[in-house]
Structure 1
């Protein structure tokens, strides 16, 4: 994550910049501080910023008279080694008046600042703002990823061949070449086998053995794991064995059919950070909780545990595969995951849950099915045994 300081007394222009940053999906990758005077900027510049947007005509204090001399004096303070203010890695000047560009551009450039005409009569200059931010982000990503060994482990769900694993890997590759990808594959796993606890666990344990072996063989690397659907169940079985003594940098669970009340301390304690992504309209998980013994919908309603620096539930609009829709740009993983993989960005809390008419009825129905599903499973056995002995 990069730190940006906007020093501008033009509220409308600042709002335009913030809106543009949001529209390009960059909010999760930047931390933006806004102030409207030179003196306020000096207080902020006691901390280091990666990028500063500086109004050419700026008041010394809030509600003061804007003058270019205040901006120039601020720049001189920043670049003066005897002053305590920290110089941003890049400073970009902004002005709405073309004559100000002509009069002060040379002085700004002498102080290593670029000046962009940012008139309120046009929004073309916003593209340059985004280019500046993306340029600094790209530099940060290269610095962080340089000579760092990282392992990306992905585990897909049932009734799929996990094509998203390759897409995710290719997207990360655009930002960092230091990830060694490991795609856990186990072929197409049918729904009937998934519904039978013995068959489901036998398959999961077989893959979990391979997964633990891979993790133990890469303890010296920063390990990142993305598991979807049944893949989260496999990961849970693997880490519950306590055979992996290393540390996972980041674990992302999405579309998990694990029961929301289950204890996942073995996952959370094995990771520096665990994120449980939930699709609030995940009807697949509704069916899993209602009809499949031992399964739930933690990937829809979240795990029943507190959010903390080590764990967070996040709620998104969408269903079971919302995380891998390629038609949306930026894709879900480009927007929400790649910044976590390639920078030091902290996770953003997201909650897009909304109430709807009949929500209580739907929830009650799912719970009732959950209570009676053992009877549904055992009834054929009961009647079959009675028939044989009768």
Structure 2
């Protein structure tokens, strides 16, 4: 290592590691600096920045984890365990029970129940941690829930928002939110068919988890992953922890290398499923009406 190093880069590298590994890593990097004066200066700067950074983020930070449908959300415990190694962060896995596909596709009434439950949980968490900054990690239907809460509840203030498998509408107006989060990171899975399927098969959802938002309000980060492939320990440690702990967005090489969307994704994205379903439902309803009139007249 050169005797003259970038302390910001070193600090970010330290923060991206689990808490129990940070000190040993810092010692190893400092040992590579030959000049004693430079080594002491770097050590002082990094330790000071690390201490201030931890006091500004970890000391009063809560992390809320919101799952998708038809899942027991084992990933929530995995993330909670990783974060538990960092002191002064409180983690709250939030759920709304098992939400089946039928209710997921029905655009009215059923969606409000999980939104109300998650909102109730968030309000309780915020009330018990009034000085804390909030980071939210949401997957699949959980992203839709968060989008509704942000749009409809101006008192809920989120500092960092991490989305994956997002089904938020592509045209979602981030710029019109009462309180837009200062940082929104959308982990996009280019092999994820489910956001596209949700968009074309019912109302209110979008394919933002497959193609990204493409807006200045959100940082899209692309990965060659499917709908539930974000939950490996490697991905959590490499990409999620730096963002949750310090706001650092670790770049993915897949963003620049990814090929055009697969044929399956392209075809599915333009399939008029909702239109066909509406026609079928209307035809069945009209046919039933005609039979009723015929039978009773």
Find the aligned partners of 1:365 and 1:340 in 2 and give their Cα distance: 32
The answer for the alignment partner of 1:324 in structure 2 is 231
Q: Is the radius of gyration larger for structure 1 or structure 2?
A: 1
Q: Pick closer, same or farther for the CA change 1:221–1:28 going to 2, 3 Å.
A: closer
Following superposition, the deviation at residue 318 of structure 1 comes to 0.9
**2:43 is aligned with 1:89:** yes
Find the aligned partners of 2:206 and 2:53 in 1 and give their Cα distance: 42
Q: Pick closer, same or farther for the CA change 1:226–1:385 going to 2, 3 Å.
A: farther
The answer for the alignment partner of 2:201 in structure 1 is 291
Following superposition, the deviation at residue 142 of structure 1 comes to 9.8
Alignment of 1:239-254 (within 5 A): 239-244=150-155, 247-254=157-164
Q: Unaligned 5+ residue runs, structure 1?
A: 1-5, 9-20, 31-49, 57-70, 80-85, 91-135
The answer for the alignment partner of 1:192 in structure 2 is 102
- Give a deviation string over 1:66-87, Cα, whole Å, max 9, x none: xxxxx5xxx45x48xxxxxx81
Alignment of 1:225-264 (within 5 A): 225-244=136-155, 247-264=157-174
The answer for the alignment partner of 1:314 in structure 2 is 221
Q: Pick closer, same or farther for the CA change 1:313–1:305 going to 2, 3 Å.
A: same
Find the aligned partners of 1:272 and 1:207 in 2 and give their Cα distance: 25
- Give a deviation string over 1:11-55, Cα, whole Å, max 9, x none: xxxxxxxxxx9xxxx59949xxxxxxxxxxxxxxxxxxx955657
- Give a deviation string over 1:172-202, Cα, whole Å, max 9, x none: 112x131222221221111011111114422
**Which one has the bigger strand percentage?**
1
- TM-score, length-normalised on structure 2? 0.76
**2:182 is aligned with 1:272:** yes
Q: Pick closer, same or farther for the CA change 1:27–1:288 going to 2, 3 Å.
A: farther
Find the aligned partners of 2:219 and 2:97 in 1 and give their Cα distance: 30
Q: Pick closer, same or farther for the CA change 1:181–1:212 going to 2, 3 Å.
A: closer
**Which one has the bigger helix percentage?**
2
**Count of aligned pairs between the two proteins:** 274
The answer for the alignment partner of 2:2 in structure 1 is 7
Contact 2:165 2:187 in 1 (8 A): yes
Contact 2:201 2:274 in 1 (8 A): no
Q: Pick closer, same or farther for the CA change 1:332–1:317 going to 2, 3 Å.
A: same
**2:67 is aligned with 1:156:** yes
Following superposition, the deviation at residue 215 of structure 1 comes to 5.7
Q: Pick closer, same or farther for the CA change 1:290–1:151 going to 2, 3 Å.
A: same
**2:297 is aligned with 1:387:** no
**Helix, strand or coil at the partner of 2:123:** helix
The answer for the alignment partner of 1:64 in structure 2 is none
Find the aligned partners of 1:267 and 1:196 in 2 and give their Cα distance: 25
Find the aligned partners of 1:28 and 1:144 in 2 and give their Cα distance: 9
Q: Could you tell me which of 229, 238, 248 is aligned with 1:346?
A: 248
Contact 1:222 1:249 in 2 (8 A): yes
**2:79 is aligned with 1:168:** yes
Contact 1:268 1:274 in 2 (8 A): no
Q: Unaligned 5+ residue runs, structure 2?
A: 4-9, 18-27
Following superposition, the deviation at residue 206 of structure 1 comes to 2.2
- TM-score, length-normalised on structure 1? 0.60
Q: Pick closer, same or farther for the CA change 1:194–1:382 going to 2, 3 Å.
A: farther
Following superposition, the deviation at residue 369 of structure 1 comes to 2.2
Contact 1:212 1:239 in 2 (8 A): no
- CA RMSD of the aligned region, Å? 3.8
Following superposition, the deviation at residue 355 of structure 1 comes to 2.1
